[in-house]
Amino acid sequence: MSGARVLLVSAIASGQGKTTVTAALARKLTREGKRVRVFKTGPDFLDPMLLQCACGAPVQSLDLWMVGLERSRRLLAEAVAEADAILIEGVMGLYDGTPSSADLARQFGVPVLTVLDASAMAQTAGAVVRGLRDYGPVHLAGVIANRIGSERHAQMIAEAMRDIPLLGTLPRQERSLPERHLGLVQPDEVEELDGILDALASQLNFNADAWEALPPVSLGEPLQEAVAPALLQGKTIAIARDAAFAFLYPANLDCLQALGAAIVHFSPLADEAIPKRADAVYLPGGYPELHAAALADAMRWKQSMREAHAAGLPIYAECGGMMALADSLTGIGGDRHAMAGLLPGRVIMQKRLAALGAHAWQRQDGELRGHAFHYSRMETELEPLARTVKHPTGQTGEAIYRRGSLTASYFHAYFPSCPQAAASLFLRESAA
């Protein structure tokens, strides 16, 4: 294996600044001429978009359950073979979830870099970080203290670490990455994003010598990936891609193409009709609630969806995609907009989180794994065709709706978890 250095970036909890620090470090290493690859642990769409802007390369998911052990090993090994520096942003706190970020780090022998919001502490930082290291334990390479107030503050943090290296500090940020209810704002909506990333990289005081001292990670030879059968050979799948429908795993596109499908994109927000050559339609998740008025006025798009449905084209709609196909969508402020009307019922936004977690959908041709994360509810008299199962509790999860050739759910599927099941979603003979 090559001499790539690998770090898993984690913290004691969400909100400590993992994404900010990962993006700042990725941009800093990139500016130093290193070939940088970044991964995101667990299900996420928004952080990978930002991290891709920071490092200049696509960001894939790593997860021992959703992605799977061998695929995660294969993705990591491919990155190690072509990069100098690899960063893996963890999910929530280091030990949160089943499996956790700590489980991933131990599985592949990856050292952990802890991000600590030190804005309201000094010496206590040492106790927090030592506990984080020893609880698992994990190989803790060091700490980056975020939101540092002064040089003296940084010195106190460093002294409190004792035998744990303080690898870097990042001061309180005047310009931070904006957020909304599902997480970070999409990069395309952030003005001067490159400037923000460059500023963060410049502000990050990082110990370059400590980075070079990290031992290279050796993963061994991963198992060869099974060749996907060409179940979608000759099929063209039209995928909605714009600011309202942007939540899509890059791996899903790769999987569909490996199955033989040709991909074309169209924009409902631009009132583009489904391309005539499409054999199936995929509406991924996103933020339809932020663009409900524009979608309501997109008459050409809505008519093409109705015609495709009447013609029996397979339509697969996830979360935001499903919301846009309901009869109506009501925002937090009570504004109601007419949607495409393929799925009887109404979607209502709410301030309280409706669902968050890992889910599996058992189909005739295998188990599709993925997740759910939404702030709305679907009110419909349509009986679900099936329901997902929550991981790891086994509790009943999200409803899967079927109406004619339309399959819709709040569930976001990770297609490589079962390519055969994914393919069947886009075939006319599809069955759940």
* pLDDT classification of 409: cutoffs 50, 70, 90: very high
CA distance 207 to 47: 25
Distances (CA, A) of 138 to 66, 102, 129, 250: 22, 7, 11, 30
Sheet holding 376-379, edge to edge: 336-338, 326-330, 343-349, 376-379
Helices (H), 56-136: 69-82, 101-108, 124-135
Q: Is it true that 5-212 and 236-424 share their CATH fold?
A: yes
Which pLDDT score, from 0 to 100, does residue 216 have?
A: 80
Catalytic sites, residue numbers: 319
Q: pTM for the whole thing? A: 0.92
- Compute the distance between CA of residue 9 and CA of residue 13 in angstroms, rounded to an integer: 12
Judge contact between 401 and 407, C-beta under 8 A.
yes
Residue-wise pLDDT for 119-149, tens only, equals 999 999 999 999 999 999 999 999 999 999 9
Q: Reply yes or no on whether the pLDDT at 184 is more than 50.
A: no
Q: DSSP characters for 20-66?
A: HHHHHHHHHHHHTT--EEEEEESS-SHHHHHHHHHHSS--EEE-III
| Model pLDDT, residue 180 | 44
Tens of pLDDT, residues 227-238: 778 999 999 999
- DSSP-assigned beta bridge partners for residue 60: 39
Among 315, 319, 309, residue whose Cα is nearest residue 237: 315
The torsion of the CA quartet 320, 326, 327, 332, rounded to 10 degrees, works out to -30
CB 28, CB 208: distance < 8 Å: no
Nearest-angstrom CA–CA distance, 286 and 283: 9
pLDDT: is 225 or 32 the higher one?
32
Non-local (6+) Cβ contacts of 209 within 8 A are: none
Q: Which CATH class is domain 236-424?
A: alpha beta
How do beta strands 236-240 and 262-266 pair?
A: parallel
100, pLDDT greater than 60: yes
Checking if the pLDDT of 421 tops 70, the result is yes
Percent of the chain with pLDDT over 90: 83
Helix, strand, or coil (residue 165): coil
Domain 5-212, CATH number (from 2.40.40.20, 3.60.110.10, 3.20.20.70, 3.40.50.300):
3.40.50.300
- What are the C-alpha distances in Å from 320 to residues 3, 194, 246, 338, 429? 42, 28, 9, 14, 25
Convert the pLDDT of each residue in 329-357 to its tens digit.
999 999 999 999 999 999 999 999 999 99
Q: pLDDT digit string (tens) for 241-260?
A: 999 999 999 999 999 999 99
Arithmetic mean of pLDDT over the chain: 92
Q: How far apart are CA 295 and CA 275, in angstroms?
A: 18
Segment 181-198 shows an average pLDDT of 65
Q: Where are the alpha helices (DSSP H) in 245-371?
A: 250-258, 292-297, 299-310, 320-323
CA dist 260 to 118, 228, 364, Å? 50, 9, 21
Rounded Cα gap, residues 2 and 82, in angstroms: 8
| Whether residue 113 has pLDDT greater than 90 | yes
- Each residue's pLDDT tens digit, 350-401: 999 999 999 999 999 999 999 999 999 999 999 999 999 999 999 999 999 9
Domain ranges of the chain: 5-212, 236-424
Region for residue 234 given its phi and psi (left: phi exceeds 0; alpha: psi -120 to 50; beta: otherwise)? left
Q: Are 340 and 305 in contact (CB under 8 A)?
A: yes
Residue 181 has pLDDT above 50, yes or no: no
How large is the average pLDDT for residues 188-199?
A: 77
pLDDT at 193: 82
Distance from C-alpha of 221 to C-alpha of 224, rounded to nearest angstrom: 9
3-state secondary structure of 256: helix
The pairing of beta strand 355-363 with beta strand 366-374: antiparallel
Q: In 3D, which of 156, 177, 418, 425 has the Cα closest to residue 283?
A: 425
Give the CA distances from residue 129 to residues 87, 121, 162, 164, in Å, rounded to whole numbers and listed in that order.
20, 12, 10, 8
- Give a three-class secondary structure readout of 234-252: CCEEEEECECCECECCHHH
